[in-house]
Chain A
Amino acid sequence: MLKLNRKGYLTIEIILASAIAFVIAFFLIDITMKLVDKTDNYYVDTVFMTDKALITKNIKELIENDINDLGIIKDVYCKSDNKYCNITFEDGTTNTLVIDKDKKQITYGGYTKKFDTKLSGNVGISVSTSNDTDKKYIVFYMTFTNIFEGNDYDIIIPILNEKVLKKYYVYLDVHGYYGNQQTTIEFDNSDYGPRYDVFTNYDQLFYSSDSSTDLKCYIDEEKTIEYDFYKLDTIRYQYFLIDFTTDIPTKLYCDFSEEV
């Protein structure tokens, strides 16, 4: 019977062990590279998601404020090669929404937001409008490409092309001849500006609507800092209009004073 000797055992051992070690090393390197790749992508995705939220919110707000101030959008022209859109409002003003690939930033009016340097592959901007004459809905598309992965990233900014009456809420704590009343009033930014008729809610505090009545309001409860209205009407039998300035407080502490 052939008897195996033990020569060469160590060599076989080394070869087998090395083979196993190389296979393990290969998979280890492979998974490490995939991990680094994925975490890098997640980083870009997360940063872009944050930037996208800020850009969409701020630019949408700015354009819709411009619609309220300058009139509805009459025309939009986008040049994708130059990466800008000219937006013309009803009063003739034109503002520009720009993607600057070199500076890695998006600009509209006074607002500028930088985006990640990895997203400066193909960048572009385009617009789509609804089919009606007034272009009730306008959608801006901004696209970016990751220069390393080739993934596309989009920002879609939908705009309602209508003037929206902005609502204001002010808590009024009013003292009159017949006592106090606290109410939160709600009013729009009307054609005359932010205006409210105080008489309707507070007439029961007056001694007489025929007497001359003054209204003074203060920003603080101690009534040391007076609020200057844009205009205060004189009290009439049916209405008492107060016009707020553009600086509208959330709370006012007011006194009616009458000649009794």
Chain B
Amino acid sequence: MKFGRKGFMMAEVVVVSVVIAVVLITLFTGLNRVSSAYEKRDRYYDIDALYLAMMANDALIENGYINTIIKTGNSIKINNDDVNQLLNTYNNDDVNLYFSLYKKGKIDELKGLSTTKETTKEFIDYLGTKFYFNDDYNYVIISEICKNDDDCYYYALKVR
């Protein structure tokens, strides 16, 4: 059987195209994964949200309200005069604070609050994959800074 040379260029192009297409798809998938990781880093470990959570935690410790909410054990959106005074100072953005005991089920309870945004629920799901719950923390304060409903930044401050 003799192979003719007709059609060889076409076959060559098709084979190379398939190889290049596979490489492109792999690159594209990898790029999406990297993009998603960067997005999470930017949104879920926000420095502004970290400092907000720290200052709110200090205010709650100073006025003793933290003891009350630890005792009741409920996962709540924090509503306290001193903390509200701090939140109202952030007048460029919509800011919120949440409290939960450092337990898996307790943090998930925050998703059930009527005021919890969809982006916040996604963050709480993300925390479920990152927190190990066998380390020695007592509670978590979650801070949220939103420029608009879809553009929110978070930090989860674990406290002993």
A: residues with CB less than 8 A from B are 6, 9-10, 13-14, 16-17, 20-21, 24, 27-28, 31, 34-35, 38, 42, 45, 49, 52-53, 56, 60, 126, 128-132, 136-139, 141, 154-158, 160
Contact = CB atoms under 8 A, between A and B. Distances in A.
Contacts of A160: 55, 58
B9 interface: yes
B6 A10 contact: yes
Given A10-B6, A49-B42, 5 more contacts: A16-B13, A128-B91, A130-B85, A132-B85, A158-B86
B35 interface: yes
Nearest to A23: B17
Contacts of A13: 6-7, 9-10
A202 to B, nearest CB: 31
B113 to A, nearest CB: 25
Contacts of A14: 9
A13 B14 CA distance: 11
B55 A158 contact: yes
14 contacts: A21-B17, A28-B20, A31-B24, A31-B28, A38-B31, A128-B89, A128-B91, A129-B89, A131-B85, A131-B88, A137-B55, A137-B85, A156-B52, A158-B89
B131 interface: no
B87 to A, nearest CB: 9
A154 B145 CA distance: 12
Q: How would you classify the secondary structure of chain B's contact residues: helix, strand, loop or mixed? A: helix
A17 B9 CA distance: 7
Contacts of B137: none
Interface in B42-71: 42, 47-48, 51-52, 55, 58
A130 B91 CA distance: 10
Nearest to B87: A137
Given A130-B85, A137-B85, A158 B51 contact: yes
Contacts of A24: 17, 20-21
B72 interface: no
B38 interface: yes
Candidate in B7, B10, B88 with the most chain A CB atoms within 10 angstroms: B10
Interface string B79-98: 00000011011111000000
A61 to B, nearest CB: 12
A20 B9 CA distance: 12
B89 A130 contact: yes
Contacts of B145: 156
Contact of B13 (A10, A20, A31, A130): A20
Given A20-B14, A154-B48, A158-B55, A137 B89 contact: yes
B159 interface: no
- Ranked 10 nearest A-B pairs via Cβ: A17-B13, A156-B48, A137-B89, A130-B89, A13-B10, A139-B89, A128-B91, A137-B86, A130-B85, A13-B9
